[in-house]
Copies of this chain bind each other. A is one copy, B any other.
C-alpha cells in the first residue's frame, strides 16, 4: 500500500476524501428520551445530528482506522444532539479521540454496568478502553469536531446498545449541562 494524505477542514470537520455519512433525527429517532420532541424535530426539517467521514483501509489489526466526526449543536427536547454510539464488535478493542473544537461529553459504559462520562473540549484526548460502549454529545453552541482512531479489526456493533439504550443521557438547561439517569 502507498502512503497517502487527506486534509481535515478545521471549520467543518470533514476530510478531503473518504466515505462521508450523515445522521439525521430520522436515523435515530427512538434513541431520544423525549419522543414527542423527536417527532416534532422530524416534522420540522429532520435536522442533521452529525456527520462523519472514515477512510477505507483493510479491517485488520495491523491497520489503524481513522475518521472525523462533527456533531452539530442542538437539542431534542432538553437532550443534547449525540451520536448513535456503539460497542466494538470485537469488544476487546479500544479507541482514541482527539477533540479539535466545540464542547461535548463522551458517555461510556460497559456490559458489566460500569459507567463514565468525560469532557470533550479543544485539545482533549480521550481513551476509550476495550469493552466500553461510547457515545458523544454536543453540549455547546458550536459544532463539536473530533478525530477518532481505532484498531482495524474493531468492527462496530450498534445493535446491542441500541436495544438496551445507554444508562445515562446528557441534557442542557440554559448553560447548565446535566447527566441524567435513563430509568
Contacts and interface: CB of A to CB of B under 8 A. Distances in A.
Given A3-B126, A3-B128, A106-B3, A64 B94 contact: yes
Interface stretch (A23-31, A39-47, A115-123): A115-123
Contacts of A90: 62
A50 to B, nearest CB: 19
A152 to B, nearest CB: 8
Interface of A is mostly: strand
Given A62-B92, A63-B94, A125 B3 contact: no
A5 B57 contact: no
B5 A150 contact: no
B125 A66 contact: yes
- Copies of this chain present: 2
A8 B118 contact: no
Contacts of A10: 122-123
Interface string A8-31: 111000010000000000000000
Contacts of A150: 64
Interface in A77-109: 90, 92-96, 98, 106, 108
B130 A98 contact: no
B95 A64 contact: yes
A25 B109 CA distance: 46
Nearest to A125: B6
Interface of A: 1-10, 15, 55, 57, 61-64, 66, 90, 92-96, 98, 106, 108, 116, 118-119, 122-130, 132, 147, 149-153
